[in-house]
């Protein structure tokens, strides 16, 4: 697309209020966001939103995965490079250059000290229609201004997200995970906008995502079962356990009977192993266990577990 000659735009006036223009700084934190919710609405920060801690928690801990924010806050991001390639052009018979297509903007950053767990988490977004908010070192949140005046996540070109594991010990640099992607070609640098750090009272620079929690079920009977709940981190046979959950952090549902189950008790012992006592269920019924709002508030996302009563 020749943005200079083929787009119907009137020239803008060139005055700028004193000290009002702000250069876009390098990102130290990325927040991945689905471009649209399951309801079909664009995810965005609206002009009237108050970005306090409750607002940020509501985004990162939202029960709706399609509107949730996913901060890549594993480690502080280093070696950030975001450059736009040279635009494609043609040269006329008079020797003049005409720009035909803007160059692709590439982004890359490094999470030193991060391992395969971080790589698998980032890779899970590869086949999603996602964008990103960039957070700079001052705590400014940067996105793309939409025609409705909202600040949307800057779209990532579909299929361009990539991670590379760099192993340590073979050079003077530690190992870690590099993430890279291309910005969608429809996103223009001139449309970047920001929420000033002075307008944000929440702790944006230390924003972290929900911790993925995977359950293994055992000791199933008509009146109970055990869940061993681990994170993705740790040795392959000794994952870091999910600790500190209580009864109200779980929802238990009988899929066969289409009925909620009122859990009698949940006891944790040892760390990350939870014994559930429930009213008697029918043999062969399928029961579903999920995390409730309490687990989200503790920064855990408990993946759904299905079990069959025996």
Domain boundaries, the chain: 27-199, 211-308
Over residues 186-213, the pLDDT tens digits come to 998 889 999 988 899 999 999 999 999 9
Q: How far apart are CA 75 and CA 111, in angstroms?
A: 6
Is 37 or 11 the better-scoring residue by pLDDT?
A: 37
Whether 207 and 77 have beta carbons less than 8 Å apart is answered as no
222: left (phi over 0), alpha (psi -120 to 50) or beta: alpha
Predicted pLDDT at 16: 76
What share of the chain has pLDDT > 90, as a percent? 76
DSSP state, residue 95: S
Predicted pLDDT at 2: 45
Residue 7's pLDDT band (cuts 50, 70, 90): low
Q: Which residues contact 108 (CB under 8 A, 6 or more apart)?
A: 79, 80, 81, 82, 178, 179, 180
Whether 308 and 285 have beta carbons less than 8 Å apart is answered as yes
Predicted pLDDT at 96: 87
Burial 172-197 (b: 16+ CB within 10 A, else e): eeebbbbbebbbbeebeeeeebbbeb
Predicted pLDDT at 17: 81
Residue 278's pLDDT band (cuts 50, 70, 90): very high
Q: Measured between alpha carbons, how far is residue 31 from residues 7, 131, 193 in Å?
A: 32, 8, 15
Q: Taking residues 286-298, what's their average pLDDT?
A: 96
Q: Taking residues 78-101, what's their average pLDDT?
A: 85
Q: How far apart are CA 152 and CA 43, in angstroms?
A: 6
Residue 3's pLDDT band (cuts 50, 70, 90): low
Q: How far apart are CA 121 and CA 128, in angstroms?
A: 13
| Residue 4 predicted with pLDDT over 60 | no
Predicted pLDDT at 239: 94
Phi, psi of 120 (to 5 degrees): -65, -35
Q: How far apart are CA 181 and CA 128, in angstroms?
A: 13
Reported pTM = 0.88
Predicted pLDDT at 141: 95
Q: Taking residues 83-98, what's their average pLDDT?
A: 84
Residue 70: strand pairing partners: 32
Residue 81: strand pairing partners: 108
Highest mean pLDDT of the ranges 93-97, 124-128, 223-227, 236-240: 223-227
Q: How far apart are CA 213 and CA 143, in angstroms?
A: 30
Predicted pLDDT at 173: 77
Annotate 30-81 with DSSP letters as a single string.
EEEEESB-TTSPBP-B-TT--BSHHHHHHHHT-S-TTT-EEE--SS--EEEE
Q: Taking residues 42-62, what's their average pLDDT?
A: 96
Asked if CATH classification 3.40.50.150 holds for the domain at 211-308, the reply, yes or no, is no
Predicted pLDDT at 1: 44
Residue 5's pLDDT band (cuts 50, 70, 90): low
Structural element, H or E, at residue 100? strand 97-101
| Residue 133 predicted with pLDDT over 70 | yes
Predicted pLDDT at 19: 67
Number of CB atoms found within 10 A of residue 69's CB: 21
Over residues 240-275, the pLDDT tens digits come to 999 999 999 999 999 999 999 999 999 999 999 999
| Residue 93 predicted with pLDDT over 50 | yes
């Amino acid at each position: 697309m020749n943005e200079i000659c083929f787009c119907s735009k009137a020239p803008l006036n060139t005055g700028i209020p004193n000290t009002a223009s702000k250069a876009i700084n390098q990102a130290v934190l990325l927040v991945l966001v689905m471009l649209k919710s399951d309801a079909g609405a664009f995810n965005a920060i609206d002009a009237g939103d108050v970005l306090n801690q409750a607002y940020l928690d509501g985004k990162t801990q939202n029960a709706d995965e399609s509107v949730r924010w996913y901060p890549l806050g594993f480690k502080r991001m280093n070696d950030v490079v975001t450059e736009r390639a040279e635009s494609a052009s043609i040269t006329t018979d008079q020797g003049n250059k005409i720009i035909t297509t803007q160059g692709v903007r590439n982004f890359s950053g490094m999470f030193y000290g991060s391992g395969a767990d971080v790589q698998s988490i980032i890779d899970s977004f590869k086949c999603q229609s996602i964008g990103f908010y960039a957070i700079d070192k001052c705590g400014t949140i940067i996105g793309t201004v939409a025609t409705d005046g909202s600040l949307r996540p800057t779209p990532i070109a579909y299929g361009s997200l990539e991670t590379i594991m760099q192993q340590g010990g073979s050079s003077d640099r530690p190992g870690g995970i590099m993430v890279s992607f291309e910005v969608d070609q429809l996103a223009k640098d001139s449309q970047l906008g920001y929420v000033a750090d002075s307008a944000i009272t929440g702790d944006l620079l230390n924003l972290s995502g929900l911790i993925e929690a995977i359950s293994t079920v055992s000791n199933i009977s008509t009146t109970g079962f055990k869940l061993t709940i681990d994170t993705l981190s740790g040795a392959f046979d000794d994952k870091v356990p999910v600790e500190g959950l209580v009864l109200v952090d779980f929802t238990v549902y009988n899929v066969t009977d289409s009925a909620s189950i009122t859990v009698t008790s949940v006891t944790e012992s040892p760390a990350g192993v939870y014994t559930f006592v429930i009213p008697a269920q029918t043999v062969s019924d399928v029961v579903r266990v999920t995390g409730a709002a309490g687990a989200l508030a503790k920064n855990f996302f408990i993946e759904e577990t299905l079990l069959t009563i025996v």
